Amino acid sequence: MLKSLKTYNLIFLRLLLILTGIEFSLYLHKIKFVFAPVFGFLIVLFLLIELYFYVKSLIMVYDKTISSIIQNDFTSDFSRYQSNQNDLFKLYAILKSKQNEQVSRDIIYTSILNNIETGIIILRKEDNEWNVFLMNDYFSKHFDVPKVSKWKLLKSQLPSLCEVIEEQDFQEIKTSLEIRVNERNAQTFVMQTSRTEICELDYFIVLLDSIQNVVEKKEKEAWVNLMKVISHELLNSITPIRSISQNLQELVEQDSISSDDLEDIKEGVGTMLRRSDLLQKFVEGYRKLAMLPSPKKEKIELGKLIENCFQVMNPLFKNKQIKVLNTILFNHLLLVDHQQIEQVLINLLTNSMHALEDREDKQITIAAEVKENRVFIKITDNGNGIDPEIENKIFLPFFTTRKEGAGIGLTLSKSIIEAHGGYLDFRNHEDKTTFVICLIEE
């Protein structure tokens, strides 16, 4: 504001000088000076010309600044005017700084998108027509498509993709489709789309992942997790065995063995035996997971299946004072390997039993429902629930929170259910945990 006043003061002083010069020239003319008024009018003329060019330069600078802001062009440098001109140049400097930040952010985001091994294309709706707003490098290279800007051009290059999007009327979908690139074999991709509106502009985002890449990522993650568990278990057994072996070697190399040394040897051998047993159990558990036999399916009634499990578990439930509610009021024939499914149910009931150790009111509920050619068996306990930090680990091989646990029960159960074409999942709600077995009827 002060800088604006300074500009106005300079213009005002120039006008004041011009008016003073005119008044003084008129006065000289009245008192009959001949040449002095002419000289005075020349000075006034000079001041008028100087004022004209001064105002013109100001207007040109203002006009250029405003035009740059309107056109979003911040290549000009008006820094020399900021020290003695109004807030317009401050505004320009602020907008220029924000523009530079936005450009830097766009470059970073584009660089990130171009380094992701997922095909990404973003469409923007303009005048009721979709155009390509952004296409990352992976999409362009993988599908051998130039970075076109028009939807029609993209459709001519990848008709199989564009036709699916048009059939869904550019709505959010998640599906798989086969895309043939040039003369190569068709590849299967997972396509996920989303639609959003930003500043009254409609955007449509398409993500394409190769099924092979997805599978490879999952396999790699599974192998990494498995190797972590295996290496951890092996080190837990091998390290103490090696340490004890070194101590025993030192003892037996002595000329004579005292009674105390003999006790140390006995204790060391016992420890090695226990650790070897744990390692053997670990390997046997791994064999169970790796060599799970194919299910031998036979028809069995759901009620009979549950009854068989209760015959095994009831003594334990009574001993731990656990109340079990069987809410299944119907019977239904299942085509399953009843021994394997019974093992799954026993594993889940055992887990629920251990989850209730710290509870006074111990209760397990078993329920079932048939819906859309699927049978859902639900086992719920009112324990403390599953900690959110380990929710994504409970089905990992050999992961356990119990000291005496082997960590293969849930993994084995999940493998058995998946071998039957179903799935095993869990839900946490209101301090209760429910494991859900889904079996698909054939």
> What does the pLDDT look like over 398-426, one tens digit per residue?
556 555 555 667 777 888 888 888 888 88
Same domain, 201 and 242: no
Which run of H or of E encompasses 232? helix 211-252
Is 236 inside any structural domain?
Answer: yes
Same domain, 353 and 431: yes
| pLDDT above 60: residue 286 | no
| pLDDT above 70: residue 37 | no
| pLDDT above 50: residue 160 | yes
Which alpha helices (DSSP H) does 326-392 contain, by range?
338-355
Asked if 281 and 406 count as a contact pair (C-beta separation under 8 A), the reply is yes
Count of the separate structural domains present in the chain: 4
Same domain, 321 and 199: no
pTM, rounded to two decimals: 0.42
Q: 366, 350, 361: which is closest to 322 by C-alpha?
A: 361
Is 386 inside any structural domain?
Answer: yes
The whole-number pLDDT of residue 402 equals 59
Is 104 inside any structural domain?
Answer: no
Is 132 inside any structural domain?
Answer: yes
Look up the domain containing 243 and give its range: 214-290
Report the distance separating Cα 388 and Cα 21, nearest Å. Answer: 87
Same domain, 302 and 436: yes
Per residue in 166-218, pLDDT (tens digit) is 888 888 888 877 776 655 556 778 888 898 888 788 999 998 887 666 556 66
Same domain, 421 and 332: yes
Same domain, 360 and 433: yes
φ, ψ dihedrals at 143, nearest 5°: -100, 5
Q: What is the CATH number of the domain that holds 117?
A: 3.30.450.20
Same domain, 349 and 310: yes
Same domain, 218 and 206: no
Per residue in 132-158, pLDDT (tens digit) is 988 988 888 888 888 888 888 888 888
Same domain, 158 and 172: yes
The whole-number pLDDT of residue 366 equals 92
Is 99 inside any structural domain?
Answer: no
